[in-house]
Amino acid sequence: MKRFITVIVVALLAACNSPPDRATTLTVFAAASLTDAFNEIGAQYEAAHSGVKVAFNFAGSQQLRQQLEQGAQADVFASANHQELDAAITAGLIVSGTSQVFARNRLTVIVPKDNRAGIETLADLAKPRLKIVLASLNVPIGRYALIALDKLNQKFGATFSATVLSNVVSSEDNVKQVVAKVQLGEADAGIVYTSDVTPAAAEKVTALDIPDEFNVIATYPIASLSSAPQSDLAADFVKFVLSSSGQSILKKWGFITQ
């Protein structure tokens, strides 16, 4: 019995005294729509800064903000709208005035490639018995979509938005799930960001443009967190995102850049 305890204690001590990690980890919470762009930005940043590992948490901005409020540790927060970042500021997680807009985005309607529901124009979204999938209202894209639909009332009549909404069969948790359901052909249409029509996605979906006058410009702010474990690195990463290298990557992935 004594020997057993000794072994356990020695093992625990050994575990506690393991050499510190060589790599420093920078934790970035980013909106789901930023997945492809930020993965590439992260890879470039790692290549330029040896010993640094960028770890991403991609999810709906509302979920990220909620996690931060509940105490999740992160260095940088990149949101798909001002609302969630402002909420983080209100919660004392980010210093007011330190956030910067690093990209913009527009909305688009996507339909499965074979378009069995025959949605050729935006007006077709009001056709009866369609299965439309949107993000839920607490997700930035969900809210933006509602604004765009309301704007389209100017063109298609006051009841257009309500009719389209009555075709909604599911409210997803982030924009990528909307893309997935349309790609799978389970949804007849979805409203996502233009940046979500990536080369990979374009193989399975077709995009229907929403004219500028009815579209919504989504603004993406980024900021380091007040309690960032790697605050210097965080600030440097934000600078990188705003630099010409970061901006060209964002542009490549379909975002509107400065």
Contact yes or no for 222/241 (Cβ under 8 A): yes
Q: How far is CA 235 from CA 9, 59, 82, 124, 240, in A?
A: 41, 22, 19, 46, 9
Torsion angle (degrees, nearest 10) of CA 27, 31, 37, 43: 10
Residues 184-223 that bind another protein (CB under 8 A): 184-186
Binding another protein (rule: CB under 8 A), the pick from 173, 229, 245, 256 is 173
Interaxial angle between packed helices 231-242 and 35-48, expressed in degrees from 0 to 180 and rounded to the nearest 10: 120
**Per-residue mark of binding to another protein, 64-83 (x: CB under 8 A):** --x-----------------
Q: Quote the least distance from Cβ 66 to another protein, whole Å.
A: 5
User: Strand, helix or coil at 56?
Assistant: strand
Q: Which of the stretches 39-47, 128-136, 211-219, 249-257 binds another protein when contact is defined by CB under 8 A?
A: 128-136
| 153 touching another protein, by CB under 8 A | no
**58 vs 102 by CB, closer to another protein:** 58
Q: In whole angstroms, what is the distance from residue 215 CA to residue 149 CA? A: 9
**Angle (CA) 228 233 239, round 5°:** 110
Q: Which of the stretches 25-33, 93-101, 158-166, 183-191 binds another protein when contact is defined by CB under 8 A?
A: 183-191
Q: Which of the stretches 30-38, 49-57, 71-79, 178-186 binds another protein when contact is defined by CB under 8 A?
A: 178-186
Q: Which of the stretches 8-16, 98-106, 182-190, 194-202 binds another protein when contact is defined by CB under 8 A?
A: 182-190
Q: In whole angstroms, what is the distance from residue 90 CA to residue 86 CA? A: 6
| 86 touching another protein, by CB under 8 A | no
Using CB under 8 A as the criterion, which residues of the chain lie in contact with another protein when the complex forms?
Answer: 60, 62-63, 66, 131, 133, 136-139, 168-173, 181, 184-186
